[in-house]
């Protein structure tokens, strides 16, 4: 069993939640750590500036001397169900952990930037699993993308005893429909090219008319429309569908 570092040792590794996109939704602590970190680490797609780093840009600006990009070997080029995807991504996280270990061993504070909340479908979790048993680590929570989505859509998500279910759109169609039929309210993430399948599952569950499509919630490019008005074209990374509950209202 790997021993945890003593709790009274200074934190070296931070998983920093930056919120859904609008820098005004960052916590005071997140802003402070952005300014104080020795190294700002962010995940990105090849040839792109990472989503989390783009959010941070609006607070601390570009700073090449204290930045480190972790570039995914694949994103949507290989389906997640393909064994090649798992092999390449696992190796990627192993290599990233090794890189960061060398920096942490030198006593530098490493801050991994995370869009929305680090512990909610976040890439940082794969580093946390490998590094937190070895180095003093702190995760800073944040406003989630789904919270921004239902707030900007002016759609309270749960009323009374409504049950909320969060689903990845990557699930099989039958599984999506089954889970949607069993809930009062829903948030469906990871849409991408799965949007037609998700729409069909919502229709089968009788929830299509209540479904709202939200893209880039809280960002300048924000789009909010009833799902019925959105085409089946591939949805971007920062997009989701919310289905508000209709429970007890007093």
DSSP element (H, E) containing 137: strand 137-140
The one-character DSSP state at 219 is S
DSSP element (H, E) containing 68: strand 67-71
pLDDT digits 0-9 by tens, 34-92: 999 999 999 998 888 888 998 999 888 888 889 999 999 866 665 666 667 778 889 99
The one-character DSSP state at 112 is E
> 146-243 has which CATH code?
3.30.950.10
pLDDT digits 0-9 by tens, 107-137: 999 999 999 999 999 999 999 999 999 999 9
pLDDT at 184: 97
pTM of the model: 0.89
CA distance 219 to 148: 10
CA distance 249 to 192: 34
Judge whether 235 and 191 are in contact, CB under 8 Å. Answer: yes
Give the domain ranges of the chain. 13-143, 146-243
CA torsion through residues 227, 79, 46, 100, sign: positive
Q: Tell me the CA distances in angstroms from 55 to 21, 126, 228, 249, one per residue in order.
A: 6, 21, 30, 37
CA distance 240 to 169: 9
Q: Tell me the CA distances in angstroms from 220 to 55, 150, 176, 217, one per residue in order.
A: 12, 16, 31, 8
* Dihedral, CA of residue 206, residue 166, residue 116 and residue 13, to nearest 10: -170
Judge whether 116 and 17 are in contact, CB under 8 Å. Answer: yes
Least Cα distance to 112 among 88, 96, 94, 133 occurs for: 96
State the fold for domain 13-143. Cobalt-precorrin-4 Transmethylase; domain 1 (3.40.1010)
Radius of gyration of the chain (CA): 19
DSSP element (H, E) containing 41: strand 39-44
- For the segment 160-176, the average pLDDT, to the nearest whole number, is 97
User: What mean pLDDT value characterizes the chain?
Assistant: 92
pLDDT at 1: 43
Same fold, 13-143 and 146-243: no
- For the segment 212-240, the average pLDDT, to the nearest whole number, is 95
């Amino acid at each position: 069993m790997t021993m945890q570092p003593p709790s009274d040792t200074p934190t070296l590794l931070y998983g920093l939640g930056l919120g859904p996109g609008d820098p005004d939704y960052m916590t005071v602590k997140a802003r402070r750590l952005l300014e104080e970190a020795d190294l700002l680490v962010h995940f990105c797609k090849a040839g792109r500036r990472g989503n989390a780093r783009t959010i941070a840009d609006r607070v601390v600006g570009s700073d090449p001397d204290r930045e480190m990009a972790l570039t995914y070997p694949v994103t949507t080029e290989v389906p997640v169900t393909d064994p090649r995807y798992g092999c390449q991504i696992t190796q990627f996280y192993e290599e990233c952990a090794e890189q960061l270990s060398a920096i942490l061993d030198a006593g530098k504070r490493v801050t991994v930037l995370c869009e929305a909340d680090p512990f909610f479908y976040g890439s940082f979790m794969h580093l946390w699993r490998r590094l937190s048993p070895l180095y003093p680590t702190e995760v800073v929570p944040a406003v989630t993308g789904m919270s921004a989505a239902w707030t900007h859509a002016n759609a309270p998500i749960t009323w009374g005893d409504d049950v909320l279910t969060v689903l990845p759109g990557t699930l099989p169609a039958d599984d999506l429909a089954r889970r949607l039929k069993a809930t009062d309210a829903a948030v469906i993430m990871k849409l991408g090219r799965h949007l037609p399948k998700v729409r069909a599952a919502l229709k089968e569950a009788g929830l299509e008319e209540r479904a709202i499509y939200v893209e880039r919630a809280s960002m300048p490019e924000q789009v909010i429309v009833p799902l019925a008005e959105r085409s089946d074209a591939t949805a971007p990374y920062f997009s989701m569908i919310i289905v508000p509950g209709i429970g007890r209202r007093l």
